[in-house]
Structure 1
Amino acid sequence: MITWADERRYWASEKRTLRIAAGWLVILGTLFILLHSLPGVGAAIVISMVVVVAVLLIRRLRAGRDVDAYFSKRWKASVSDGILSSWTALARNLRLEVRGLDGGVIVAGLGVPVWEGWTCLVRVHLPPGLVKEDLVSASEHIAQAFGAIRVSVAGDRLDALVMRIDYTDPLAESFWFPLGAPWDGHSVLMGLAEDGSEWRLPLGPHTLVAGASGSGKASLVWGLLLGLAQPIRDGFVEVWGIDRKGGMELAMGREMLTRFADDAQRSVALLEEAVEQMQARARSLAGLTRQHIATTESPTIVVLIDELAALTAYETDRDMLRRANAAIATLASQGRAVGFIVFACLQDPRKETLPARGLFTQTVGLRLRDRAETAMVLGDGAVAAGALSHEISRSTPGVAFVVPEDGTAPIRVRAAYASDEQIREAAVTYPAPYPRPVKPAERAEESRARRPRAPRSSKSQQMEES
């Protein structure tokens, strides 16, 4: 239903048209007063005045009932015209040009803008001599020139690159998902991608989540657990949780965890038992299948580790440190085919912090401290493709770049927010059916202390007696 406010907005936007129409009416009215007595002239002038008014009414009817849609359409058309008209000069200023054999300048070509919501998609054709990275490196300048929030580049072929010009950010506001979403058996609903579609994280590849303090790692942890709530309750998935922050993160939803550890000894014991069960399952499946399928008798095991570096780098007991790194490397290198998956979070992505970093084939980069850390987590190619985790705003926790296992272009996403109330509800509604405690692992000195001394040989006794 059209309101008076909508009408006022419409006619306010038509001020220029109204001024032109008013000018013509004044002219025609003046001519009518002066020439109406001439045969046929008065009628022609009246008809002309009716046509002017009719044009105004037709323009209003074409705008339709949805004034907002009309304004957005006009705005998009204006922006599209501005992009096309200014591109050549902008491309030359940004050095998106090459010299032809005849000495002439060949500028990167631009296709017709196509709109998806508030995102403008434009095909870009780069002439030989330019590469995709040239366009990516100029994306920030292009965004400022076009008044956009962000510009990203998709595609690999130089004649089929697509420039995404975003005028709004669908990831700017936090959101949440209701509990109990059905599980497809292959992926977990974690949040939204920047194009507004669902972001589903494949469950299978070992996943490393890296982010500075306050970047939203908790959203990823609870996104995984809440997304797996139904298969956890039904027994198709077991989550073995390790929280080296004294349980501050995972303890609230502990009922969803089949196994839980919050200190060094129990954490190492959990990891080593996961390795033992993984190897036993591999032996039982050998010769029968090459890929595990989750059942209630043989569930998928997700080893969820919050603050991984506390196990792999900061642990003061050198024996525990060695055993933790060995177990994580074994799980990450052998576990996928038999249904043992590692999902780990940490703040410091350096190699010395996580020796097995290369075994995590699916990486998520939340806000990071600098470009070097972004390259460590996502790779130099992802950074060149525009995955700039070090430029994520502090005001958007949970926003990240994801590099899929297949090496395709990085995706900008945001994980759904999980409140304390939702976590408590999930713990009550979707508990793990068969929780089991973790027995602490023995320290090396304790093991040596319990080892019985070997009996002395008869030769040594004779030497002592003599």
Structure 2
Amino acid sequence: MSRHRVSRHEMRRKARRMRRLGVQPIADVTDVEFAELITAGIARFLWRYRSEVTPITIALLSLLAGTVLHRWYPTWWPTVALMTATTAGTLATAGRWLNLTRAIERGYAAIAATLLGGWLTAATILGPLSSPLPAVLALGCLVLAIPWWAHRRRRARVRVERTLAAWPEISQAIGLAGSRVQSAIVDLWGYRTRIALARGQTVEDAIARISGIESALGTRRGAVRIQPVPEKANRLELRVIETDPHADAISWPGPSVSTIHDPVELGVFEDGSPVRVSFKRRHALVGGVAGAGKSGAVNVLMGNLSACPDVIVWGIDLKRGMELLPWESCLDRVAVTPKEATALLRDAVRVLDGRAEMLAMQGLRVWEPAHDAPALIILIDEYAELVDDAPDAIHYADSIARRGRAVAETLIAATQRPSQKAMGNSAVRSQMDIRVSFRVRERRDADLILGAGMHKSGWHADKLDAPGKFLLSAPEFDIPRRARTYLLTDDTVQRTAVQHADRRPALDAISLAALHEPPHEREDAVEGSQQSRGRHARQAASQATEDALSAALRNAPREGASVGDLMEAADMSRPTLYRRLALLEDQGMAVQVSRGRWRATATDADSPAFGDEG
């Protein structure tokens, strides 16, 4: 009786059933074909190490191709030679489009294509086994394999593929079960992969598990970045930074703009792309703890703004000018005391009002910066000190933040103390379109600078680990991407300030006229006009209400008008109506006929001054 042969599928099915019953299955070696095991093992080995054996695979395929060409298509050797030359030339000149970013990589690919194509041409003519072609193929395979095996990016790609092959187990361990890897790319600093989330999972769920992902992937702390994919809510890009591109300071390359209409280059993202943001008619907030790099950002801004002939910069530095005085030759005004800061901001409001008045008279809506009509930027260093030492100045700063955009008057506030008192008790913070956060101590500080709930969404400013690293939030930058600002040395600041001092513009005639008016005249006039308009409006509304109540009482029948009718006629609330009726009764101008019914007194029923009393 022949022994029944059990299929591998049947064996796995029985093993799963035994495990569910708590029994560890034991395979009977008589049920296993050793040939199948050996074949499967070899196939598994070749697949796992497919990258390492690629040179050998290419050599074997070349031998097979040479055999086919020599046997059936021996006259094709000119075509093979032409294709070889074309391929080698394409790889050498346009290899960067095939991810061969370095010249040495393109050279290697062109040489390999030339040698392989030359061998195939010879094999097509002579035959692949003709001496010395087999020895040449073996020696060429060995020589070309050495750079291939030693290539850093290839080895990194293989390591990444093997790491991500374990993603199903990793996703189970970190609480993202069901997510899967869609693609992976190795770059100069690490690798990035696109992850498809399971149904119901969100990018925020993955952000909350960054520490677990770092542990599961075996990376260093702070190496993982997670960014949403705008096209789909259930996709994310996971990036692993193995070599920090921002480990060292980045020297400032020089001004990136020559007009305020162009975006300013603040630094470099981790992928090497520049951080460009426009400050035209946009207020900005820069925050971070001491030593985090805030002063570097201020220097980068001054280095660029001072190169623009259509920008005037006024500065406030309550650290007695430690940060801004080196730029004094490029600053139209600088304030270093609370009193000077208050005066500067008061004058900025006067300029704002003068420009707004001119725009209104000419029927225009915005002030277009030009050399003869420059934008005005007020740069405030240590804004928190301004809140403490010059509280009166905050009212002017609020006015600039609310009304300054149309007239090209911009407020840029920097602070080392992003406290609730400094950042949350005025209108300045809510008007800031641009938020730049350097390292902060606590998560709530990141929310104070960048906005409520930003830390939960992945804006982890508390994890920035070097001076100069920052996160930028703006309408065009709504994804958390780490960047590093440029470094300006003291010599660079001094040299740049001297170089740009001669190109600074003068304040326009309209703004100068607003500043040269007698002190407080414009403010008093504007304030008085606003108060007068408000007082007249309140008086008119009150008089209309009194007139309506007067008419309703005069026209009431002998039994009087009900309280409900009087409330509707005078548009008053019940408490207000009762207070007014009590006053009129004390003055003898109204009488309560019965409970809840009122009318005018007989003597005053026809008096035209009824509603003017009291």
| TM-score, L = length of structure 2 | 0.57
Structure 1 residue 151 corresponds to structure 2 residue 224:
yes
C-alpha contact (below 8 Å) 2:316/2:336 kept by paired residues:
yes
2:251 matched residue in structure 1: 176
Work out whether residues 153 and 385 of structure 1, in 8 Å CA contact, stay in contact via their aligned partners in 2. no
Partner of residue 304 from structure 2, selected from 223, 227, 234: 227
Aligned position for 1:260: 334
Which one of the candidate residues 140, 143, 156 is aligned to 2:211? 140
The residue number in structure 2 matching 1:324 is 393
Query: Quick check: 1:382–1:403 contact (8 Å CA) kept in 2?
Result: no
Among 292, 297, 314, the residue aligned to 1:240: 314
Q: What's the CA shift string for 1:32-78, capped at 9, x where partnerless? A: xxxxxxxxxxxxxx99x9969944641532565xx79x522222222
CA contact (8 A) 1:120 1:164 kept: yes
Q: What do residues 110-145 of structure 1 show as CA deviations (whole Å, max 9, x unaligned)? A: 112123333422111112221111111222322343
Match of 1:120 in 2: 191
Residue identity (%): 26
**Among residues 60, 79, 85, which one is paired with 2:143 in the alignment?**
60
* Letter matched to residue 142 of structure 1: I
Shift of the 52–220 alpha-carbon distance from structure 1 to 2, 3 Å rule, reads same
Deviation at 1:290, TM superposition (A): 3.0
Tell me if structure 1 keeps the 8 A contact 2:267–2:275. Answer: yes
Q: For this pair of structures, how many residues does the alignment match?
A: 376
The 2-side partners of 1:371 and 1:164 are apart by 22
CA distance in 1, matches of 2:378, 2:193: 43
- Distance across 1 between alignment mates of 2:162 and 2:374: 57
Selected match of 1:368 from 436, 440, 463: 440
Q: By how many angstroms is 1:255 displaced?
A: 0.4
1:196 pairs with one of 272, 277, 295: 272
- Mapped to 2, the partners of 1:124 and 1:418 lie a distance apart of 39
Q: Residues 180, 248 of structure 1: CA spacing in aligned structure 2 closer, same or farther, 3 A cutoff? A: same
Counterpart Cα distance in 2 of 1:411 and 1:95: 24
Structure 1-normalised TM-score? Answer: 0.74
Q: Which residue identity lines up with residue 126 of structure 1 in the other structure? A: L
Q: Residue 362 of structure 1 contacts residue 403 of structure 1 at CA under 8 Å; is this kept in 2?
A: yes
Distance 1:371 1:279 in 2: 39
**Is 1:403–1:411's contact at 8 Å kept on the other side of the alignment?**
no
Q: Which has the larger radius of gyration?
A: 2
8 Å contact kept, 1:190–1:227: no
Superposition pairs for residues 448-463 of structure 1, below 5 Å?
none
Q: Secondary structure at the match of 1:386?
A: coil
* Corresponding position of 2:13: none
From 343, 346, 365, the equivalent of 1:272 is 346
Contact 2:203 2:233 in 1 (8 A): yes
Q: Could you tell me how far apart the structure 1 residues matched to 2:271 and 2:145 are?
A: 30
Distance change >3 Å, CA 95–CA 433, structure 1 → 2: closer
Deviation string 1:224-255 (CA, Å, 9 cap, x unpaired) is 01122321xx3x01110111000111111210
Q: CA RMSD in A?
A: 3.0
Task: Give 1:414's aligned residue.
Answer: 484
Aligned: 1:88 with 2:168: yes
Secondary structure class of the residue paired with 1:141: helix
Q: Secondary structure at the match of 1:304?
A: strand
Q: State the match for 2:287 in structure 1.
A: 210
Q: 5+ residue gaps in structure 1? A: 1-15, 21-45, 98-106, 443-466
Q: Aligned pair 1:334/2:411, yes or no?
A: no
CA contact (8 A) 1:387 1:412 kept: no
Gaps of 5+ in 2: 1-51, 57-128, 520-614
SS in 2 for 1:430: helix
Aligned residue number for residue 109 of structure 1: 180
Aligned to 2:543: none
Greater relative CO, 1 or 2 (CA 8 Å, sep 6+): 1
> Residue 180 and residue 112 in structure 1: after superposition, are their counterparts in 2 closer, same or farther (change >3 A)?
closer
Q: Which protein is richer in helix relative to its size?
A: 2
Measured in 1, the distance between the counterparts of 2:330 and 2:404 equals 22
- In structure 2, the CA distance between the partners of 1:298 and 1:125, relative to structure 1 (3 Å rule), is same
Q: Give yes or no for contact 2:285–2:432 (8 Å, CA) kept in 1.
A: yes
What is the match of residue 47 of structure 2? none
Partner of 1:424: 494
Residue number among 365, 368, 380 corresponding to 1:290 in the alignment:
365
2:151 to 61, 65, 71: 71
**Could you tell me how far 1:343 is from its partner in structure 2?**
0.9
Cα deviations by residue, 1:386-419 (Å, 9 ceiling, x for unpaired): 22111222xx211111111356112311110011
Q: What letter matches 2:460 in structure 1?
A: L
Task: For 1:343 and 1:52, locate their aligned partners in 2 and report how far apart those are by CA, in whole Å.
Answer: 72
Give 1:310 deviation, angstroms. Answer: 1.1
1:132-163, Cα deviation, whole Å (9 max, x unpaired)? 11111222322343344522222253333221
Separation (CA, whole Å) in 2 of partners of 1:60 and 1:274: 73
Residues 51/77 of structure 1: CA separation in 2 closer, same or farther (3 Å cut)? farther
2:382 corresponding residue in structure 1:
307
- Rounded to whole Å, the distance in 1 between the matches of 2:414 and 2:494 is 22
Say which SS state the counterpart of residue 352 (structure 1) adopts. helix
- CA distance, structure 1, for counterparts of residue 183 and residue 236 of structure 2: 13
Q: 1:142 to 1:295 in 2, by over 3 A?
A: same
1:462: which partner in 2? none
Taking a change above 3 Å as real, the CA distance of residues 51 and 91 of structure 1, as seen in their structure-2 partners, is: farther
